[in-house]
Amino acid sequence: MYLKNIHKQFPGVKALKGVDFSLEKGKIVSLVGTNGAGKSTLSNIIAGIYSPDEGEIFIEGKKVTISDPKAAEQLGVGIVHQEPTLVPNMTVVENIFLNKEITKNGIVLDLKKMKQESEKVLEFLGFHINVGKKVEELTLVEKEVVEIAKAMLLKPKILILDEVTAPLNKDEVDHLFKIINDLKNNGMGIIFIGHKLQEIIEISDSIMVFRDGKNVGELVPSESLSEKEVISLMLGSTLNEDLITGEDKDDTGQRQEVLKLAGLSKQGFYEDINFTLYKGEIVGFAGLKGSGITELFQSLQGILSFDGGDMYVKGKKVKFKYPKDGIEAGIGMVTNDRQGEGLALTLDVKDNIAVSSLNYLRNRFRTLNTKLLKDNAGKYVKALSIKTPSINQFVQNLSGGNQQKIVIAKWLLRNLDIILVDEPTRGVDVKAKNEIYKLLINEKNNGKSLMVASPEIRELLSICDRILIINSGRIVSEVHRNAKEFKEEDILNIIHSSHQHYTTAQAM
Amino acid sequence: MASDTSSINGGYRVSAKLIKDNMLIIILLLELIIGVILSPVFLGKTNIQSILINTAIFGLLAVGQSLVMLVKEIDLSVGAMMAFGPIAAIALTEKILSGSGTEIIVGGNYVVDGLLLIVILVLLISALIGILNGIIRVKAQVPSLIVTLGMMYVLSGMSYILSGGYSLYLTNLEGAKSLGNNMIAGIPVNFILFLVIGVLVILVLKYTKVGHRIYSTGGNEKAAIYSGINTNFWKIMAFGISGVCAGAAALIYSSRLQSVETIQGSGYELISIAIAVIGGITLEGGRGNIFGAIIASAILCIMLNILSLVGLIAWYKTIIIGLIIIGAASQHAFSRRTA
């Protein structure tokens, strides 16, 4: 298979900018890159879910157009998606054969044959799952196996595996890799997408590195290839150093403690979190998707309850029942789902900024003081240089960066001491990014305490005084700004070393 | 492991599961027993026949509604369709046949001719309106609650305009009363027709690809699309079938009363949703089955019948329906969580 000069644009982003890609029979090619680098877009184009804006696709020397998933199937492409594509209320057989059903005479389903066939596929994969069970009753691992079985059913010539190892443990991964190698030896071409570099180096024949919608290089795994080399190619050499403004404050004894967590746990999300936040610092939280950071933040504001450990705000033990309790204790969270949780899209700028502070914007009749509200909204629009025609503009008409500033302004107006920011610059362009960084640092200098989570390590390096690394819900490492590990490579290294608990060198 | 420890405890668990799985049938049987105890008329031939006819009408609406709900949509227009279908069909038939000199309406509002054409047109018009609902839903991306609410108002308005608000009488239309009143071996024909349609839908959902399309469209639309299923098509289909079911229900209703009223069927859209919910179909889509909806329509009709027989005034009935809907939905949700 061969892809030439593939372009794909989504509203607001160029996801792929001229990608060439080739895959031979009996080879495993891995795609690596940071989130949003274009790996999944490329695989979705091959699977017929997106169609490219530009470029050509050849399979076995013939030029093809893959218009929909069914066409991809007929061309011999199977895909296991990153997100779950099973129907929970249907059985394993029904899911495996979804839209590929076998019938007896064109009408009546051949239930017996489908059952046998799915058992055969699962057996080949080395798993025994009751195929009459509903998918919602399966374990996470079993679901993943069913996803793979579904892709394997039509004996594809090309198999795309998009982050299939995430829910699997080491033994299961080993088992899966054995199967993948068998398939490869039978002549199947395999595209493997993953985040765990060690796995990728282990399984691949070649590694294709993506950055900003382009493939920036191809590496061939060997004894000498290290995860570091892959990471540095993923990131490129142009590290943005000029923004770094964080500082390390070692004199912890002098500082005022604002938030303390002692063994905070929430089953299934995070475990035994011990952490102290001081006045006037920005602490970064780094980890992969699903590492539990978002849930931890939610617990701190009272959106999610915690079920173990204690939480202290300014020395006082607290347990929040509602988000309101968190806000009253001085904690606000800037969510990573701006449009879903952070804003009322159909309200205007001033109302969105004021929404959490309405009790403080009342006149002597205890009703809303609209003038005060407008003045305050105007003040923050100006202070954060939010680009909007007026404070009466609907928020949904603003760009992502300006929307994000409004979410932040909401908490600034409420004058909270602790601000939790989950992905400060998701879907925000470069210029607005820098403005948001400045804004956060400015708040720190005003004596606020911030906790920032981000999938972009570079971002954390820019603004944070120290970074905590979370792996599967646990703090595995803490890196201070003056430490020699305060580098993207090292932090990524720690994050990507799966199932390995680092001894924490905590300086608290 | 559970089978190894089949002690008394295990046996208890099995019977608890048996009760949970057959809850609807147990309720139905209980109702029958209560009916027999409370009223001597309950088991009378005419009473049973009347229950069966009502079950056929509500059951048909509920089967259509259930299909729509399985694809995670809702159809509020079926009640209004029950009036509009026949009224529009008669008006259209008059237009068509008056060209050939046949008079089909005499004395202002007595329908006397054109039965076959009317029947065909009722089903056709209802199907087309259902399909239109579906097309607006998927093309304009408007929630079906809104689309079909709007359609409900449009249809009732048009029914009034076409009929002038007057009833149309079918007493002088030959053959018009057979569907609503004829019996085969003491069983209403319309009930037999309903059972045939119901069983057919159950079989099609279970033994053909159609079931997989419908359940996956409602259960996880993204997964269905990724598998290459045209989910929009199946949504439109579900609305179309719901329309046909409403048309068929209207035919039974009008044939039974031998008239077409401008307000007939009003409020039935909510009853059909109620039945579907009692039968275990959820608003989240992809869950529940048609068998449950059919049993539920019998449950509701028998209950309404018992309440009438014991002489409860209508408002108490509404309260009881409301409580049953809430109770049934909670019970289904609860048993799903503990499954």
Token representation of residue A102? 């076998």
- Which of A306-310, A384-388, A432-436 is modeled with the greatest confidence? A306-310
Token representation of residue A431? 């210029």
Grade residue A8 by pLDDT with cuts at 50, 70 and 90: confident
Q: What span, in angstroms and rounded, lies between the C-alpha atoms of A72 and A16?
A: 20
Looking at the partner chain, which of A84, A97, A108 has a beta carbon nearest the beta carbon of B207?
Answer: A108
Largest CA distance in chain B: 80
Check whether residue A130 and residue A195 sit in a common domain.
yes
Residue B7 falls within a domain, yes or no? Answer: no
Which domain does B236 fall in, by range? Answer: 53-337
Grade residue A242 by pLDDT with cuts at 50, 70 and 90: very low
Q: What does the H/E/C string look like for A357-400?
A: CHHHCECCCCCECHHHHHHHHHHHHHHCCCCCCCCCCEHHHCCH
Residue A245 falls within a domain, yes or no? Answer: no
A36 or A57, greater pLDDT: A57
Using a CB–CB cutoff of 8 Å, tell me whether B337 touches chain A: no
Check whether residue A87 and residue A212 sit in a common domain.
yes
Check whether residue A90 and residue A170 sit in a common domain.
yes
Q: What span, in angstroms and rounded, lies between the C-alpha atoms of B59 and B72?
A: 19
| Single residue among A206, A235, A264 that ends a domain in this structure | A235
State the pLDDT at residue A11.
62
Using a CB–CB cutoff of 8 Å, tell me whether B219 touches chain A: yes
The answer to whether residues A213 and A54 touch, using CB atoms and an 8 Å cutoff, is no
Residue contact B228–A103, C-beta within 8 A: no
Residue B20 falls within a domain, yes or no? Answer: no
Looking at the partner chain, which of A47, A86, A103 has a beta carbon nearest the beta carbon of B223?
Answer: A86
Using a CB–CB cutoff of 8 Å, tell me whether B71 touches chain A: no
Lowest mean pLDDT among B15-19, B160-164, B305-309: B15-19
The residue among A67, A68, A85 with the most chain B CBs within 10 A of its CB, best to mutate, is A85
| Single residue among A169, A204, A235 that ends a domain in this structure | A235
Residue A285 falls within a domain, yes or no? Answer: yes
* ipTM over cut 0.85: no
Classify residue A246 by its DSSP letter.
-
Check whether residue A390 and residue A304 sit in a common domain.
no
Per the structure, the count of domains in chain B is 1
Check whether residue A57 and residue A13 sit in a common domain.
yes
Confidence check: pLDDT of B2 > 70: no
Residue B226 falls within a domain, yes or no? Answer: yes
State the pLDDT at residue A344.
87
Check whether residue A47 and residue A133 sit in a common domain.
yes
Check whether residue A170 and residue A282 sit in a common domain.
no
CA angle B289, B292, B294 (to 5 degrees): 110
A408 or A252, greater pLDDT: A408
Of all residues in chain A, the one with the smallest CA distance to B225 is A69
State the pLDDT at residue B123.
97
Nearest to B201 by CA among B231, B233, B242: B242
Residue B43 falls within a domain, yes or no? Answer: no
Looking at the partner chain, which of B207, B219, B224 has a beta carbon nearest the beta carbon of A88?
Answer: B219
Confidence check: pLDDT of A244 > 60: no
Per the structure, the count of domains in chain A is 3
The answer to whether residues B169 and B258 touch, using CB atoms and an 8 Å cutoff, is yes
Check whether residue A263 and residue A354 sit in a common domain.
no
Which domain does A272 fall in, by range? Answer: 255-330+416-508
Residue contact B222–A85, C-beta within 8 A: yes
Token representation of residue B282? 């959820």
**Could you read off the pLDDT of B202-227 as tens digits, one per residue?**
999 999 999 999 999 999 999 999 88
Over chain A, what is the mean pLDDT? 84
Check whether residue A280 and residue A319 sit in a common domain.
yes
Residue B135 falls within a domain, yes or no? Answer: yes
State the pLDDT at residue B5.
42
Residue B213 falls within a domain, yes or no? Answer: yes
The answer to whether residues B242 and B235 touch, using CB atoms and an 8 Å cutoff, is no
Residue B41 falls within a domain, yes or no? Answer: no
| Single residue among A235, A269, A294 that ends a domain in this structure | A235
DSSP A391-444: TTSBGGGS-HHHHHHHHHHHHHHHT-SEEEEESTTTT--HHHHHHHHHHHHHHH
State the pLDDT at residue A238.
44
DSSP A207-239: EEEEETTEEEEEE---TT--HHHHHHHHH-S--
The answer to whether residues B271 and B61 touch, using CB atoms and an 8 Å cutoff, is yes
Residue A39 falls within a domain, yes or no? Answer: yes
Grade residue A504 by pLDDT with cuts at 50, 70 and 90: very low
Grade residue A253 by pLDDT with cuts at 50, 70 and 90: low
Looking at the partner chain, which of B208, B223, B228 has a beta carbon nearest the beta carbon of A109?
Answer: B208
Confidence check: pLDDT of A251 > 60: no
Residue contact A98–B212, C-beta within 8 A: yes
Residue B6 falls within a domain, yes or no? Answer: no
State the pLDDT at residue A13.
64
Residue A47 falls within a domain, yes or no? Answer: yes
- Which of A410-414, B76-80, B313-317 is modeled with the greatest confidence? B76-80
**Could you read off the pLDDT of B167-189 as tens digits, one per residue?**
999 999 888 999 999 999 999 99
Nearest to A259 by CA among A357, A358, A333, A341: A333
Mean pLDDT in residue range A142-155 = 88
Of all residues in chain A, what percent carry a pLDDT higher than 90? 25
Check whether residue A441 and residue A375 sit in a common domain.
no
Check whether residue A409 and residue A493 sit in a common domain.
no
Nearest to B144 by CA among B210, B250, B245, B70: B70
Residue contact B209–A68, C-beta within 8 A: no
Mean pLDDT in residue range A435-456 = 89
CB neighbours of residue A394 within 10 Å: 15
Using a CB–CB cutoff of 8 Å, tell me whether B150 touches chain A: no
State the pLDDT at residue A240.
45
Q: What span, in angstroms and rounded, lies between the C-alpha atoms of A279 and A281?
A: 6
CATH of the domain at A100: 3.40.50.300
- Counting one residue from chain A and one from chain B, the pairs whose CB atoms sit within 8 A come to 70
Confidence check: pLDDT of B83 > 80: yes
**Could you read off the pLDDT of A87-108 as tens digits, one per residue?**
999 999 999 999 889 988 888 8
Residue A240 falls within a domain, yes or no? Answer: no
- Which of A46-55, A195-204, B22-31, B123-132 is modeled with the greatest confidence? B123-132
CA distance to partner chain B, nearest, from residue A251 (Å):
52
Confidence check: pLDDT of A239 > 80: no
Count CA within 13 A, CB hemisphere, residue A383: 17
Exposure b/e, B156-165, CB count within 10 A at least 16 = b: bebbbebbee
State the pLDDT at residue A172.
80
Lowest mean pLDDT among A52-66, A155-169, A221-235, B92-106: A221-235
Residue contact A86–B286, C-beta within 8 A: no
The answer to whether residues A50 and A41 touch, using CB atoms and an 8 Å cutoff, is yes
Of all residues in chain B, the one with the smallest CA distance to A71 is B228
Interface of chain A toward chain B, CB-CB under 8 angstroms: 47-49, 68-70, 73, 81, 83-90, 94, 97-101, 103, 107-109, 111, 137
Residue contact B223–A108, C-beta within 8 A: no
Of all residues in chain A, the one with the smallest CA distance to B204 is A108
Residue A205 falls within a domain, yes or no? Answer: yes
State the pLDDT at residue A309.
92
State the pLDDT at residue B3.
43
Check whether residue A215 and residue A259 sit in a common domain.
no
> What Cα–Cα distance (Å) separates residue B171 from each residue in A322, A389, B85, B113, B255?
65, 69, 19, 11, 9
Q: What span, in angstroms and rounded, lies between the C-alpha atoms of A203 and A196?
A: 11
